[in-house]
Amino acid sequence: MTTAALSSAPLSKAALFEAQAVKTSARRNRLLSLPALIIIGIFGVLPLVIICVYSFLVAAPYGGVQWQFSTDAYLNFLFQRDIFDDTLQFTPDFLIIYLRSFLFAVVTTIICLLLGFPTAYFMATRPPAQRNWWVLLITIPFWSNLLVRTLAIMFIIRDEGLINNALLALGVIDRPITMLYTNFAIQLGLLYAFLPFMVLPLYSSLEKLDFRLVEAAYDLYATRRQVLWRVIIPLSKPGIIAGCLLVFIPALGAYVTPLILGGGVHLMIGDLIAQQFGSGRNWPLGCAQALILMAAVLVALYFYVRNTSGKVQHG
Amino acid sequence: MPEQPGKNAIEVRGVRKVFGTGENQVAALDTVSVSIRENEFFTLLGPSGCGKTTLLRLIAGFDFPTAGEILLHGQDIAPLPPYKRPVNTVFQSYALFPHMTVAQNIGFGLEMLGKPKAEIEARVAQMLKLVKMEALKARRTSQISGGQQQRVALARALAPQPKVLLLDEPLSALDYKLRKEMQIELKRLQNETGITFIFVTHDQEEALTMSDRIAVMSAGKILQVGTPRDIYDRPAERFVADFIGETNFLPGTVVSKQGGVATVKFASSATISAGYPEGFNPTGEVTLVVRPEHADLVPDPTKGTITGTLSNIVYFGTDTHFHVKLDGDGENFIVRHQNSRSSAVTYETGAKVGIQFEEDAARVLKD
């Protein structure tokens, strides 16, 4: 810019070359993003379009779809058609599963935040050489498959499991406490599965926190509680937001955990949708349910981000 | 203003601070005692690692002493957490809260003290005026310059009207000109607020120009406490003399003593009378300290107390330094001349010269 201002009349060769170089490098950068864009297009956008189209079709008797336009899938989400007089009756079954899934996801997010924050704070306040070891420990669960880990939980909490056997042996209880295939089991499984996704972004935020600011707040008469609420939490807000999103969204769509620990009795959205493509043989309904979930998440996200980001992240 | 002029704001009594355990133990402060008077501009001066910041952090409450006590107006504050001490700090890094505006930063301390909103607003406005930052009160701290951040940090620490203000090398991040300005500004603020300032620096010039009294520290100990003039003109130890300003060291032998003044003989058998620190009994071989501006050059070597060869002349604008290689031991001796329009004599390197001393120029060091 300054070159152009200094010698504006005869645009120097150097400036021309520079402009050319900027243009080529911009083009090259765009080219570099192409593979990622192709992958997102083929495996992200295209399936979404298919889901969208399928949700407006009619279910074929043995799975698949018939190419015939219909909004039945969306109607079936809230209503059931009476077989005899063809009237629509309000059936909240799906809605209840959705609300319960939201509740599970919200509780999971809140508890993960409450457990994850002190953990991340502890990690971030260790000597730098120790911190990587703590991060490693947090990521150890990722080394084995979620399915295997969920089955392990099953063995721990079932009636003849570790906990019940231990309590029985100690004489604390005289008959096993039923934990498996309850809401408790699902909640426990979700917490276990998603806690690292909360801890890691919180840690990366807290690790960057300038602890001299904490000292400054103490110096200015802030008590421990005030330091936490007025300095540490506001400054780690990016990590809190990221952690909550990384826990809430996958928890909402969790499939394996509720399937195994809920025993197919306590359904969550993920299982419900999967059912439509399996035993339900109603692909359009499954597609509609998936899209409704996505829309709900987007709306929730919009309000969440609007409420949390505005206040803090200006500077 | 003070009812009892000699009253102590801070009294540090036999404070030790040890970091680490076992073999890695390091004594950052080795049994330090010092009294800081009310309304005083007191400076802790020393090289990095001398323990001056540790002492400041102990007074602020960020660290706790291993032994000893710290009194604030006669009350032991050593066990109190920082938020219970009426002491505020200006940090070297300023440590301004990035998620708050300038005004919110300044009001933070008062808010934490639970002051009413109206009082906070009035006090913040007053502080903004004091540091001349009214125009920028709604800015984020990331949107103002280093010098402005410095002012905000000062205002923030002064707003709760602490009994003592601690300043941890607050000017070290500023460029030379801004630093000079802020030195004067700090002095003005201290006069206007009447608050005791404890200032930590490694810059001897800063210490000399700003302080009422200076404590020179080295290796966890306070070597000397005194007014800038005391410290400069009458350094007690070699380290103090060497650390503050330029200094010439001369070996000599004590011949006689009388009333705090010793007569010291040089190798050239010329003698000079030199004062020595109280409670010190110089005998035999001693080292004398002479400031470059307390000595004078004479063209005729026979008229000098000691003699030498002019090895180098360095022009500094306001003054000129003459480096003299002394006869006998060949030590370097520096004489500083203030430059004037009519410098009577011009010297050339290689010339034989004599050095005369002003009265009281030489001091015997205890080392």
Pairing mode of beta strands B352-357, B306-315: antiparallel
Which residue ranges in chain A fall short of pLDDT 70?
Answer: 1-16, 309-315
Classify B23 as helix, strand or coil: helix
A188, A107 contact by CB (below 8 A): no
Nearest beta carbon to residue B88 from set A213, A220, A222: A220
pLDDT at B367 over 90: no
Number of domains in chain A: 2
Tell whether A221 is covered by a domain. Answer: yes
Q: Give the gap in angstroms from C-alpha B214 to the nearest C-alpha of chain A.
A: 24
Q: Which residue has the tokens 């336009």?
A: A69
One-letter-per-residue 3-state SS of chain A: CHHHHHCCCCCCHHHHHHHHHHHHHHHHHHHHCHHHHHHHHHHHHHHHHHHHHHCCCEECCCCCEECCCCCHHHHHHHEEECCCCCCEEECCHHHHHHHHHHHHHHHHHHHHHHHHHHHHHHHHCCCHHHHHHHHHHHHHHHHCCHHHHHHHHHHHHCCCCHHHHHHHHHCCCCCCCCCCCCHHHHHHHHHHHHHHHHHHHHHHHHHCCCHHHHHHHHHCCCCHHHHHHHHHHHHCHHHHHHHHHHHHHHHHCCCHHHHHHCCCCCCCHHHHHHHHHCCCCCHHHHHHHHHHHHHHHHHHHHHHHHHHHHHHCCC
Q: How far is CA B229 from the centre of its chain?
A: 11
Amino acid letter for position B123: R
| Domain range enclosing B202 | 8-233
Q: Which residue has the tokens 């004062």?
A: B275
Residues B323 and B290 in one domain: yes
Whether B341 has its CB under 8 Å from any CB of chain A: the answer is: no
Last residue within a domain, chosen from B233, B259, B292:
B233
DSSP letter, residue B101: B
**Maximal C-alpha separation, chain B:** 77
Q: Which residue of B has its CA nearest to A224?
A: B83
CATH code, A131 = 1.10.3720.10
Test A222 with B108 for CB contact under 8 angstroms. yes
Element (H, E) at B201: strand B196-201
Amino acid letter for position A72: D
Residues A229 and A158 in one domain: yes
pLDDT at A279: 87
CATH code, B37 = 3.40.50.300
Residues B102 and B195 in one domain: yes
The percent of chain B in helix, strand and coil, each rounded to the nearest 5, is 30, 35, 35
Test B140 with A231 for CB contact under 8 angstroms. no
B169, B48 contact by CB (below 8 A): no
Residues A104 and A182 in one domain: yes
The two three-digit tokens of residue B101, written as one number: 């505006």
Q: Which residues of A touch B89 (CB under 8 A)?
A: 216, 219
Q: Express each pLDDT in B176-227 by its tens digit.
A: 888 888 888 889 889 888 899 999 999 988 999 899 999 999 999 999 999 9
User: Which residues sit opposite B252 in a β-bridge?
Assistant: B286
pLDDT at B161: 92
pLDDT at B255 over 60: yes
Q: pLDDT band for B6, please (50, 70, 90 cuts).
A: low
CB pairs under 8 A between A and B: 68
User: Per-residue pLDDT averaged across B289-303, rounded?
Assistant: 87
Test A218 with B83 for CB contact under 8 angstroms. yes
The torsion of the CA quartet A36, A40, A46, A49, rounded to 10 degrees, works out to -140
pLDDT at A11: 56
* Cα separations in angstroms, A106 against A180, A248, A309, B247: 21, 7, 19, 72
Tell whether B170 is covered by a domain. Answer: yes
Element (H, E) at B9: strand B8-19
The residues, any chain, with a CB within 8 Å of residue B283's CB and separated by 6 or more, are: B254
Classify B188 as helix, strand or coil: helix
Residues B114 and B225 in one domain: yes
The residues, any chain, with a CB within 8 Å of residue A192's CB and separated by 6 or more, are: A141, A149, A153
Tell whether B1 is covered by a domain. Answer: no
User: Which residues sit opposite B265 in a β-bridge?
Assistant: B253, B271
Q: pLDDT band for B344, please (50, 70, 90 cuts).
A: low
Of B181, B180, B184, B134, whose CA–CA distance to B155 is shortest? B134
Tell whether B357 is covered by a domain. Answer: yes
Q: pLDDT band for B251, please (50, 70, 90 cuts).
A: confident
Residues A206 and A285 in one domain: yes
Q: Express each pLDDT in B125-140 by its tens digit.
A: 999 998 888 999 899 9
Q: Which residues of A touch B160 (CB under 8 A)?
A: 220-221
Tell whether B323 is covered by a domain. Answer: yes
DSSP letter, residue B81: -
How many angstroms separate the CA atoms of B36 and B60, rounded?
14
Tell whether A60 is covered by a domain. Answer: no
Nearest beta carbon to residue A221 from set B140, B142, B160: B160
Residues B198 and B320 in one domain: no
Q: Which residues of A touch B142 (CB under 8 A)?
A: 315
Q: Which residue has the tokens 């840690």?
A: A203
Q: Express each pLDDT in B96-110 by its tens digit.
A: 999 999 999 999 999
pLDDT at A224: 92
Test B95 with A215 for CB contact under 8 angstroms. yes
Tell whether A7 is covered by a domain. Answer: no
Nearest beta carbon to residue A218 from set B82, B142, B143: B82
Number of domains in chain B: 2
Amino acid letter for position B300: D
Tell whether B241 is covered by a domain. Answer: no
Residues B305 and B348 in one domain: yes
Residues B119 and B81 in one domain: yes
Residues B14 and B91 in one domain: yes
Residues B199 and B54 in one domain: yes
Residue by residue, DSSP assigns B109-136 as HHHHTT--HHHHHHHHHHHHHHTT-GGG
Tell whether A78 is covered by a domain. Answer: no
Test B83 with A210 for CB contact under 8 angstroms. no
Whether B99 has its CB under 8 Å from any CB of chain A: the answer is: yes
Q: Which residues of A touch B81 (CB under 8 A)?
A: 218
Residues A125 and A184 in one domain: yes
pLDDT at B47: 92
Amino acid letter for position B318: T
Q: Which residue of A has its CA nearest to B113?
A: A221
Residues A263 and A193 in one domain: yes
Q: Which residues of B touch A229 (CB under 8 A)?
A: none
User: Which residues sit opposite B323 in a β-bridge?
Assistant: B312, B334
CATH code, B287 = 2.40.50.140
The two three-digit tokens of residue B228, written as one number: 């800038």
How many angstroms separate the CA atoms of B283 and B268, rounded?
19
Q: Which residues of B touch A223 (CB under 8 A)?
A: 83, 112
Whether B196 has its CB under 8 Å from any CB of chain A: the answer is: no
Residues B50 and B128 in one domain: yes
Tell whether B266 is covered by a domain. Answer: yes
Tell whether A162 is covered by a domain. Answer: yes
Residues B219 and B340 in one domain: no
ipTM of the complex: 0.81
* Residue B155 burial class via C-beta count within 10 angstroms: exposed 0-12, middle 13-18, buried 19 and up: buried
Portion 153-182 of B in contact with A at CB < 8 A: 156-157, 160
pLDDT at B92 over 60: yes
Nearest beta carbon to residue B113 from set A210, A221, A234: A221
| Domain range enclosing A173 | 94-312
